[in-house]
Structure 1
Amino acid sequence: MLTVLQAVLLPLLRLYLCGIRVLIYQMFNKSFTLPVLPKQNGRVAIVTGGTRGMGYETARHLARLGMRVIIAGNEREEGKAAARTIQAECREGKAEFMFLDLTSQKSVRHFAETFKSRGLPLHVLVNNAGTMLVPERQTEDGFEFHFALNYLGHFLLTNLLLDVLKRSGRAGCCSRIVNMSSATHYAGVIHMDDLNRRACYSSHGAYAQSKLALVLFTYYLQEQMTASGSSVIVNAVDPGMVDTALYDNLWSLARALKKPFAKILFRTPAEGAAITVYAAAASEMEGVGSCYLYNGQKRQSASASYDTELQADLWKKSCQLTGLHKA
């Protein structure tokens, strides 16, 4: 019984303590304001989860900078509508929708193949899509939902598009990969022997694990890119606490308590997206990888995220789970 309590209550407490710390910070600190960014005419970006919230605001801002933005999501009508709205507002760039279900490895592979068949370059990949605190469920491939959507789907997508990113980047004008993590990764624990959390499920623990996995992935992939001399930079971003649909799965009491605080303390989706846009387009980030960015600054991520052995183990295991047979 004690083991069950530890497995369920400790992740919950850690997660909410992280949230409280973020809210206190946001109470006394203004949200990050983007500097003037260089035009991105001719560059191509993919933004996962770009149909709403921070993903939509990211896609919108990149299009305003002149990018051709592909919104990747699993809601066809919503995605097409988002692309039409952005296209109408942003005459400098372009926006279009492509279907992608990150919980399905078949869908991820089909998306990558379809994109590659078009012969387009790829200069920016924003791994933004995510879910939080959903009840226990498995994907069609048998993976825990948070792990599959937040992390493993993005791991597979990134690897399948890596050759295009490498070809599209050059010295002084690198391709960029931006991974959406959060402060909850500080509460994360990677269970290498039970990544699907089947022994004792905790939605809080599963969510925090998926966000820590993204930071580990960020650092390990950047090491690979640097070692191979590839003009690709990889960074993780933390948007803070943002008023989006992610919080719809909070407990009823927590949702009720959130409402009066959200308008005062939470960031808007546009404010939350600012750090992602900064990582994707700012001149100051040219050639700068392996960063954890929060509120416009480089921050120390969780100590576990710098564990090179854990990074390598997670990478190897992820390759096995996705059928990417490489170390």
Structure 2
Amino acid sequence: MGLLGVLLPMIRLYLVGVRVLLYQLFNRSFTLPALPHQHGRVAIVTGGGRGMGFEVARRLVGLGMHVIIAGNVEQEGLDAVVQIRKETKHGKVEFLFLDLSSLRSVRQFAQKFKSTGLPLHVLVNNAGVMLVPERRTADGFELQFGLNFLGHFLLTHLLLDTIKRSGRHDRHSRIVTMSSATHYGARLNMDDLQSRSCYSSHGAYSQSKLALVMFTYFLHEQLLAGGFPVSTNAVDPGMVDTQLYENLCSPAQKLKKPAAKLLFRTPAEGASTALYAAVASELEGVGGSYLYNGEQVSSSELSYDEELQTQLWKASCSLVGV
């Protein structure tokens, strides 16, 4: 099972990638409609210092939102703040340190934000790593599962009361979680969520993105049952030319460079559906959806397994200590 356990997730991931690139070859990127002004509203964007996260933060500030860029590279975040302030002149944007691979850091960030007394109308769970060599977080979790999924799981949990209080029934607060088409080829091993028995960087990444979709659906049902004015959706940005691909193997890197120029979306294009989910009037009150290229589409069959969603939720609560 060792070699097969490494090869199969890799094959599934690259097959999904080919399908996405073919779609992007023959279909234009989603064009955003006019977005409503966001004066007085507050957003947090994880990984907002670069790539798609930066584009989301920049556009939200331009719409009049007070944006907190959350990231683990301080200078990068501060530089992003300076650049956005130059572009928007009077825009409200700031940086707060957040290391999603550390539960302690996530708790410190949430406490620091809540101590400001600010409301929270939009949370964009954007940050992530992809195809990293086998590594563990400060808390002993497999890095991709720990940072991409568990860090955002805990962050959302800790900020949820603030998000609930900030929403109105005529204007919901929104949680936008960045997933990936790679989740279509993912498997969720509840007996080995940390990939200890056989590590595949491709399988671990895909699993983390599937977990984010399932988390979104389970949370939506909880919010709906409680009657809370909060919408939560998962977003697939497509294949976007960002630094996320820096861990590809050498042959794949060589193929990626020419393919990126022709077939990949730009960070601004990749950010468009996340922005749509975050503020568009057309999605007011819409939750529990998987959005791709500006449309609600079906996610993987496995992602709708309610029993598995419940198991993942309970296991995640135990792992992060909530």
TM-score tier after normalising by the smaller chain length: over 0.9
1:230 corresponds in structure 2 to 228
Amino acid aligned to 1:190: L
User: Could you tell me how far 1:94 is from its partner in structure 2?
Assistant: 1.0
* Residue of 26, 39, 47 corresponding to 1:49: 47
Q: CA–CA distance in 2 between the matches of 1:40 and 1:27?
A: 34
Letter in 2 for 1:126: V
Alignment of 1:1-327 (within 5 A): 3-91=1-89, 93-324=91-322
Give the deviation of 1:92 after TM superposition. Answer: 5.3
Which whole-Å deviations, capped at 9, do the CAs of 1:48-102 have from their partners, x for residues lacking one? 0000000000000011100000000000111011011112211353110000000
Amino acid at match of 1:285: L
| Cα distance in 1 for residues equivalent to 2:175 and 2:220 | 10
Amino acid at match of 2:139: D
1:156-212 deviation digits (Å, cap 9, x = unpaired): 000000000000001111000000001000011111110000000000000000000
Structure 1 residue 116: Cα displacement: 0.3
Q: Deviations over 1:273-297 (max 9, x none)?
A: 0000000010001000001000011
| Amino acid in the other structure paired with 1:72 | A
The question of whether the paired residues in 2 share the 8 Å contact of 1:47 and 1:125 is answered with: yes
Q: Provide the rounded CA distance (Å) in 2 between the counterparts of 1:93 and 1:211.
A: 32
Q: Where do 5+ consecutive residues of structure 2 fail to align?
A: none
Superposition deviation, residue 302 in structure 1: 0.3
Q: Classify the secondary structure of the residue corresponding to 2:272.
A: helix
Partners of 1:182 and 1:237 within 8 A in 2: yes
Percent of matched pairs sharing the same residue: 67
Q: What is the CA–CA distance in structure 2 between the aligned matches of 1:49 and 1:145, rounded to whole Å? A: 16
Report if aligned partners of 1:41, 1:93 keep a CA contact under 8 Å in 2: no
> In the comparison of the two structures, how many residue pairs are matched?
322
CA distance in 1, matches of 2:147, 2:176: 16
8 Å CA contact retained: 1:64, 1:92: no
**Code of the aligned partner of 1:167:** R
SS in 1 for 2:137: coil
Instruction: Note the residue ranges of structure 1 that are not aligned, 5 or more in a row.
Output: none
C-alpha RMSD of the superposition:
0.6
Q: CA deviation at 1:6?
A: 2.4
TM-score by length of 1: 0.98
Contact in 2 for aligned 1:84/1:96 (Cα 8 Å) = no
Structure 2 Cα separation of the partners of residues 302 and 92 of structure 1: 43
Which amino acid is 1:52 matched to? R
Taking structure 2 as the reference length, the TM-score comes to: 0.99
Q: Residues 92 and 175 (structure 1 numbering): CA distance in 2 closer, same or farther, change over 3 Å?
A: farther
Alpha-carbon distance between aligned partners in 2 of 1:90 and 1:154, rounded to the nearest angstrom: 28
- Tell me the distance in 1 between the aligned counterparts of 2:118 and 2:56: 20
